[in-house]
C-alpha cells in the first residue's frame, strides 16, 4: 500500500491510483508513451528529452483531473474508488502540479516559442475541464453519456503533447492512430466496467489481449495504405501503429513466458 506522500509526487498519483504495480507501469510506457515518442523523434525530428518534458507536464496537469474525478460522487460507482479512504491536502497537491506545469511551460517557451507554450497550457486546461464535465452529475444522470465523454478524453488525451510541436492536421492523424491502436479498447473496457454485468467483465478480462491483437490486425490496412513512402512525414500514424504493435507483441510474449515459468515452478513444488 503506497504512502500518502507518494500521491503528491508528480506522476506518483498516476502510478498509485491507476497503475499500482511495475508491470502496469511498463505497459503504460509501451502503450501510451513509446508510440508517440518514437514517431515524434523519427518522423518529425523532435528530441526525446522534449517529448519527455511534454509528457511530464501533461501528466502532471492531468493528475489534477484524476484527483477531481476520484473525489467526485462517481467515485462510489463500480470501479471508481481510487483513493482508498486516503485524504490529501488539495492545496499542496495542486501547488506541486502548478509548479511543474509552469516550469515545463517556460521550457517550451524558450525552445519552441510563446505560441507552443500557450497551446500546451490551453489544451491541458480544456482536457481537465472535459474531465470535470465527465464526472459531473448532469453527465452521470444520462445513461451512457459518460461513455461518450470518456471516448472524447481517450481521443484527445495526448493532444497537449502533440499540438505544441505539430500543426493540427498532422497532430489529428497521430491522435487517430493512437485511438485506433489503444483508445478504442480503453473505451470498450470502460463501458463494460461501468455498465456490463459481472460475467461480461470476467469473460472480457480473459479475451482482452486477444481483442487487442485483433484490433491491431483489423486496422493494419488503414495505416499501411495511407502512408506515402515518397513523403516520410506522412508516415507518422504508421510509425505509431507499428511501434504499438511491436510493443504489444513483446508484452504478449513476456506475459505468456512469465505465466509458463510460474506454472512450471508450481508443478515442481507440488511434486
DSSP string, 189-258: HHHHHHHS-HHHHHHHHHHHHHHHHHHHHHTHHHHHHH--TT-GGGGHHHHHHHHHHHHHHHHHHHHHHH
Rounded to whole angstroms, how far apart are CA atoms 176 and 35? 12
Tell me the average confidence (pLDDT) per consecutive run of 10 residues in the chain, 271 residues long. 83 88 90 95 95 96 88 59 74 94 96 96 94 86 88 94 95 95 88 68 60 89 80 85 93 80 65 60
Residues 187-198, buried b or exposed e (16+ Cβ, 10 A)? Answer: bbbbbbebebee
pLDDT at 122: 96
Burial class (CB in 10 A: 0-12, 13-18, 19+), 114: exposed
Give the total number of structural domains in the chain.
1
pLDDT at 259: 73
pLDDT at 170: 93
pLDDT at 137: 84
CB 105 within 8 A of CB 119: no
* Domain of 204, in residue numbers: 4-270
pTM listed for this prediction: 0.87
Amino acid at each position: 500500500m503506497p504512502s500518502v506522500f507518494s500521491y503528491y509526487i508528480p506522476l506518483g498519483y498516476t502510478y498509485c491510483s491507476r497503475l499500482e504495480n511495475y508491470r502496469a507501469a511498463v505497459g503504460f510506457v509501451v502503450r501510451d508513451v513509446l508510440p508517440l515518442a518514437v514517431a515524434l523523434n523519427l518522423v518529425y525530428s523532435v528530441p526525446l528529452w522534449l517529448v519527455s518534458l511534454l509528457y511530464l507536464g501533461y501528466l502532471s496537469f492531468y493528475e489534477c483531473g484524476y484527483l477531481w474525478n476520484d473525489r467526485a460522487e462517481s467515485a462510489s460507482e463500480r470501479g471508481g474508488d481510487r483513493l482508498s479512504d486516503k485524504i490529501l491536502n488539495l492545496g499542496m497537491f495542486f501547488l506541486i502540479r502548478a509548479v511543474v506545469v509552469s516550469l515545463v511551460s517556460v521550457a517550451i517557451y524558450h525552445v519552441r516559442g510563446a505560441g507552443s507554450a500557450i497551446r500546451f497550457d490551453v489544451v491541458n486546461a480544456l482536457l481537465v475541464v472535459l474531465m470535470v464535465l465527465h464526472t459531473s452529475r448532469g453527465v452521470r444522470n444520462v445513461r451512457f453519456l459518460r461513455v461518450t465523454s470518456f471516448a472524447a478524453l481517450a481521443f484527445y488525451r495526448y493532444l497537449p503533447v502533440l499540438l505544441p510541436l505539430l500543426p493540427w492536421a498532422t497532430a489529428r492523424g497521430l491522435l487517430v492512430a493512437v485511438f485506433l491502436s489503444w483508445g478504442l479498447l480503453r473505451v470498450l473496457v470502460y463501458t463494460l466496467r461501468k455498465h456490463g454485468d459481472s460475467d461480461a467483465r470476467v469473460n472480457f478480462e480473459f479475451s482482452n489481449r486477444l481483442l487487442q491483437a485483433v484490433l491491431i490486425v483489423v486496422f493494419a490496412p488503414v495505416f499501411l495504405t495511407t502512408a506515402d513512402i515518397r513523403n516520410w512525414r506522412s508516415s507518422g500514424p504508421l510509425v505509431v501503429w507499428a511501434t504499438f504493435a511491436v510493443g504489444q507483441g513483446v508484452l504478449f510474449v513476456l506475459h505468456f513466458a512469465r505465466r509458463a515459468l510460474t506454472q512450471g515452478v508450481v508443478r515442481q513444488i507440488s511434486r
